[in-house]
Amino acid sequence: MNQALLTKPEGQKRAKILALANQKGGVGKTTTAINLATALAACDRRVLIVDIDPQGNASTGLGVNRHARAVTSYDVLLGDAPIGTATVPTAVPGMSIVPASLDLSGAEIELVQSSRRREFRLRDALGAAAQDYDFILIDCPPSLNLLTLNALVAADAVLVPLQCEFYALEGLSQLVKTIERVRRAFNPALEIQGVVLTMFDRRSNLCDLVAADVRGYFGSKVYDTVIPRNVRVSEAPSHGKPVLLYDMRCAGSQAYIHLASEVLRREQGALNPEMVQ
Ligand SMILES: Nc1ncnc2c1ncn2[C@@H]1O[C@H](COP(=O)(O)OP(=O)(O)OP(=O)(O)O)[C@@H](O)[C@H]1O
Ligand SMILES: [Mg+2]
């Protein structure tokens, strides 16, 4: 990794908030949240993952057991707890998580019934944490519901994990429309941070074709780094660990390290354009 990326840029005072979103299920949102966060923490960045998926996969995948989830993103979203009280450390130095619990599946209904700033709950809550981190990664559920809407309103940018399969682009147009709507109604600064191709199989022609299509549509927004399908990546959550702690040398870990350096390079380029020349 480029040494310059290990040095935090001057001038970044507030966390960059990224929502990992794609309403399609099982495309690698949670895996990317956990492992990109770990790789960013390994680059000396302070990282918070906010799990707003009632499935709680990011929480489980990081070994936060159900008993350690006394206060969760549910309480934070309903305004019953400040974010700090819901934050728990992980085994990765510099990385914490606000876990989710099943209660969260009821939060949508409760939020719909409450009229007060229901789209802004996460944004309001994260305001208090933004000074304490360099990156906040929000792991969204596979739906464009009020929980995901809260993430899009809170975020600076959306990072879209995309599995190279036949209907991949079709689903994306719905997400892009939602992002545009959020921009108009709630969060004019919301950007697409990037699209990351996940579970890529180099032997599959379909993967190559879909990747070419996605690059044709999103251009340079698509990261050069492609996350390969790798069995170690899928084994790691059952050990409650990011794949970088489970098997640092495997192809999946290496890909997430590359992705983190690409994210940092682009961020530094945005803050300080001459650094990327
Ligand atoms: N690079 C990879 N190689 C192999 N398996 C992977 C890889 N990335 C993710 N997986 C596996 O694919 C499944 C779906 O991944 P993940 O849970 O990250 O997707 P998701 O988009 O968060 O799903 P959901 O929409 O349900 O939240 C998981 O079992 C995960 O372990
Ligand atoms: Mg998930």
pLDDT, one tens digit per residue, over 96-107 is 999 999 989 988
Determine the distance separating the centroid of ligand 1 and the alpha carbon of 94, expressed in angstroms: 24
pTM of the model: 0.94
Residue nearest to atom 28 of ligand 1 (CA): 234
Q: Residue 65 belongs to a domain with what CATH number?
A: 3.40.50.300
Give how many domains the chain has, as a whole number.
Answer: 1
- The rounded radius of gyration (Å) of the Cα atoms in the chain is 18
**Cβ atoms within 10 Å of 143's Cβ, excluding its own:** 15
* Domain-embedded: residue 129: yes
Of the candidates 144, 161, 128, the residue with the CA atom closest to the CA atom of residue 50 = 128
Question: Given pLDDT bands bounded at 50, 70 and 90, which one contains residue 18?
Answer: very high
Ligand 2 centroid to 29 CA: how many Å? 5
Contact 158, 187 (CB under 8 A): no
Whether residue 3 lies inside any domain: the answer is no
Q: Which helix (H) or strand (E) holds 205?
A: helix 205-218
Q: Note the pLDDT of residue 277.
A: 39
Q: Is residue 276 part of a domain?
A: no
* Contact present, 197 and 222 (Cβ < 8 Å): yes
Residue 77 included in any domain: yes
pLDDT in tens, 230-251: 999 999 999 999 999 999 999 9
Mean pLDDT (whole number) for 65-84: 92
Query: Relative to the CA of 141, which ligand 1 atom is closest?
Result: 27
Residue 2 resides in a domain: no
Q: What is the pLDDT of residues 161-208, one digit of tens each?
A: 999 888 888 889 899 999 999 999 999 999 999 999 999 998 889 999
Q: 234: which residues sit within 8 A by CB, 6+ positions away? A: none
Is the pLDDT at 54 greater than 90? The verdict is yes
In a domain, 277, yes or no: no
- For 135, the domain range is 13-270
- Nearest-CA residue for atom 8 of ligand 1: 28
Q: Is residue 1 part of a domain?
A: no
User: Is there a domain that residue 49 lies in?
Assistant: yes
Strand pairing report for 157-163 and 222-228: unpaired
